[in-house]
Amino acid sequence: MNRTPVNPWPWSLRLGYNQAEIVEGMGRQLICAGQTAVDGEGNPRHAADMRGQIELSLNNLEVVLAEARMTLANVIQVKVYTTDVDEALKNFDVLGVRFGRLDAAPPMTLLGVSRLALPPLMFEIEAIAAD
């Protein structure tokens, strides 16, 4: 799979994502459900801790990807839903570190929502991956 970044403006790179990517030579595609800060039994964790919720949500996404023999490097699109955009942005370095160490900057959308499926949850990440 070949990925070519498309960035008519450089500002999004400072935030860790490309405006778009051309993806060619793709084989499998994995559509991931939104991953949140829940444990293996589906119980919410890290109430009122945005950073903890982002980290656990990414951990859960990595587990799903690994089950499909993929990593964050395979992610070609990210959608983030949060009940507090400002607090999520304060902690977005967590995403930058995880994707950045793989030299990945998938196109991303960040949406503020009034709530997520379970009231203690503040952050949810949905991804599409390919290889």
- Provide, rounded to the nearest whole percent, the portion of the chain with pLDDT above 70: 100
Q: Is the pLDDT of residue 5 over 90?
A: yes
Kindly state which CATH superfamily the domain 28-130 is placed in.
RutC-like (3.30.1330.40)
For residue 34, what is the DSSP state?
A: P
Q: Are 41 and 9 in contact (CB under 8 A)?
A: no
Whole-number average pLDDT of the chain: 95
Task: Write the CB contacts of 64 (distance below 8 Å, at least 6 apart in sequence).
Answer: 32, 33, 35
pTM over the 0.85 mark: yes
Question: Hey, where are the domains in the chain?
Answer: 28-130
53-107 residue pLDDT tens: 999 999 999 999 999 999 999 999 999 999 999 999 999 999 999 999 999 999 9
Task: Write the CB contacts of 128 (distance below 8 Å, at least 6 apart in sequence).
Answer: 29, 30, 31, 32, 75, 76, 77
Q: How far apart are CA 48 and CA 53, in angstroms?
A: 9
Assign 15 a pLDDT band (cuts: 50, 70, 90): confident
> Phi, psi (5° rounding) for residue 88?
-65, -45
Question: Could you tell me the two tokens for 31?
Answer: 């559509």
